[in-house]
Chain A
């Protein structure tokens, strides 16, 4: 066997592998350009897992009213909201919160909301604006927690969809590791 016989099939395989990657990239980007564009331009991509929340209608047989849903909030709006007294609520697990969380955030894990909500309500006044977050876009817990907090009586609940990853990427302070 000479060197050309060894080298050329491998080169061909490598080139074909490269073509596969380029083809997949073109298809993937074409089909998801809006999502990618939004992510790179910092726009909020709402990924609600609870589209509408119907409240049981006890007063009449008419269609049930739609429960209020938390509004999404973007990173650049957080500063003014926090300065005005809003409270960050970490919907991730308690261990993730202990490890690292947004500076000033209060822990209320979505998985434990039933057992911890009463204690949370004693700590945080119902008039305060809440901003729920979890592990970024695609993480449904912050939105779902927001729905529950609104049902629990909080007047204004917002969801920071970018969550911990976007906060970290922006170089904003994280607390934890204790």
Chain B
């Protein structure tokens, strides 16, 4: 990356603490989405079943979404892990997360008794939809933080 020079003065402390928070958020997001992607890739059909439970898409489209989504999560997670193309990866994950939040709210409002399908597509392992919603809101905070701190860090280092 081009942004790699530390400035003197008060910016240095801000830069240091910002760096810690930035890398912490980035690595947490990377771990979550690499895990999430890998576990879904192992059983795409089961993940399609989890998506179908939300009753939002035409039947066959659940399979198309289930085939693509895990690879997108995995790709973005890997980019965050290696600290490359961070903002495009965060943009994709933020949009996905917003969609997940809308879908979860929709399922909760319809009173669906289903597994959230967020990680392990195993029907015996039912995750609470409200827990998943809170988790997604937490991830959203990390995503916004990573996006903002990446920009600040670059500006401080470039100046």
A135 touches B52 (CB 8 A): yes
Residues of A with C-beta under 8 A to B88: 13-14, 16-17, 19-20
Contacts of A29 in B (CB 8 A): 64, 67-68
**A135 lies within 8 A of B44 (CB):** no
Majority secondary structure, A binding face: helix
A39 engages B48 (CB within 8 Å): yes
Bound together, the chains give a CA A27 to CA B75 distance in angstroms of 10
Q: Are A136 and B72 in contact (CB under 8 A)?
A: no
Q: Which residues of B contact A13 (CB under 8 A)?
A: 87-88, 91
Is B46's beta carbon under 8 Å from chain A? yes
**A 6-32 to B, binary, CB cutoff 8 A, 1 in contact else 0:** 000000011011011101110111011
User: Does A23 lie within 8 Å of B123, measured CB to CB?
Assistant: no
Given A17-B91, A17-B92, A168-B55, are A138 and B121 neighbors across the interface (CB < 8 Å)? yes
Closest to B43 in A: A138
Task: Tell me the residues in window 122-168 of chain A with beta carbons closer than 8 Å to chain B beta carbons.
Answer: 134-141, 162, 165-166, 168
Q: Is B16 engaged at the interface, CB distance under 8 Å to the other chain?
A: no
Which residues of A have CB within 8 Å of B43?
138
How far does the alpha carbon of A85 sit from the alpha carbon of B150 in the complex, in Å? 65
The total of chain A residues at the interface (CB under 8 A) is: 40
With a cutoff of 8 Å between Cβ atoms, the chain B residues found around residue A24 in the complex are 68, 71-72, 74-75
With A138-B123, A166-B59 given, can you name 18 additional A-B contacts, CB distance below 8 Å?
A: A16-B88, A17-B89, A20-B76, A24-B68, A28-B72, A35-B67, A36-B67, A39-B60, A93-B113, A96-B113, A136-B59, A136-B62, A137-B49, A138-B45, A139-B123, A162-B59, A165-B62, A169-B58
Interface residues of A (CB under 8 A from B): 13-14, 16-17, 19-21, 23-25, 27-29, 31-32, 35-36, 39-40, 42, 45, 47, 93, 95-96, 99, 134-141, 162, 165-166, 168-170
